[in-house]
A = this chain, B = another copy of it.
Amino acid sequence: MNKKFDVVVIGGGIIGCSIAYYLAKENINVAVLEGQQVGQKTTKAAAGMLGAHSEWDHSESFFTFARNSQLTYFHLQEELKELCGIDIELKKGGIFKLAYTDLEKKQLTPLLTQTSARWYNEEELKEQIPGIHPNIIGAAYIEDDVNVLPVSVCNAFCKGAQILGASIFEYTHVFQIQKNDSHYLIKTTNGNLEAKTIVVASGVWSNPLFGQLGLHHEIIPVKGECISVRSEKVALKHTLFHEQKYIVPRNDGRLVIGATMVDNEWNEKPSLGGIESLIQSAKKMLPEIQDMKIDSFWAGLRPRTLDYNPFIGTHPEEDQILFATGHFRNGILLAPATGKLIRDLILKRKVNRNWIEAFKINR
């Protein structure tokens, strides 16, 4: 392997694959370097909620970016199925953000000003979801906060990019980047590559690359533990959400319960305490879940920045180096918009100034 590319993306998770897909659509000669297999780490561990509203933290830039990304998914479903045959398993049904107290109900007020959200009172909710916990007093319902199967989205971006001409190198770990006159030399366990432009999309594994590239920014791993259970009955149709925990129904009848948040933890195995807290949260939403049988459990490491917003933008001093990392709990949701934003930055197209400001490296 001794090849030259216009753009090399370091990291084959959903963010890197989305970037490769949108660049390949513009006939750019792009390669993805992945240390293991595409989409098998943080991406695979995600539940896949597209929570543009439910994960909203009241920052306007974040919301418009997330909403743009969410709406892109509604088109991608057909586009990727058509191109490479993969169903991203977009599951309708929306999300109920639950309130148990008047305070929690009040905290939902800003969300309920959005036209895409509406309030369900206790009776409506219990009619809609017969097994819901009796103490719940209502919920905000957002029809558009659907979910997808993250590993399928990532595979579809990857296969789609390949079909459009991109190169994917798996089992290729980058250990050094050298700047030459007109390009970057990327040293990997698998040989060297040249690139005019580099995009770092390495999630929690970005820190050594920040260091190599002269920056002191930091990504903190936040472990998230999940369980999936198998319902023997006709399953839940809607996602339930409360205090950052959720129950997400899959098309095949499984329910995914997620996710804990453990800062600065690199061990990718769930702990006893983490699993216990998930079970307790799930029972508080849907008591009958305690009888369901466990299908599997796992954990993933989400990349978090100090201010919880992602880094999407160019290196402060080298405009042929870009970053797309630090997406924390929202990597699946933000993947399409991130891919398009990086594409536009590389092609020097016009982009939303608010997003540039919100996600730039030096802020």
Contact = CB atoms under 8 A, between A and B. Distances in A.
A272 B291 CA distance: 6
A293 B175 CA distance: 25
A243 interface: no
Interface stretch (A67-75, A97-105, A228-236): A228-236
A273 interface: yes
B211 A176 contact: yes
A356 to B, nearest CB: 30
Contacts of A273: 279, 283, 290-291
A287 B283 CA distance: 23
**Total copies of this chain within the assembly:** 4
Interface residues of A, number: 59
Interface stretch (A15-23, A262-270, A347-355): A262-270
A172 B171 CA distance: 19
A78 to B, nearest CB: 13
Contact of A171 (B86, B266, B292): B266
Interface in A257-303: 266-273, 275-276, 279-280, 282-283, 289-295, 297
A211 B175 contact: yes
Contact of A251 (B86, B233, B269): B86
A270 B275 CA distance: 13
A299 B293 CA distance: 11
A329 interface: no
A159 B211 contact: no
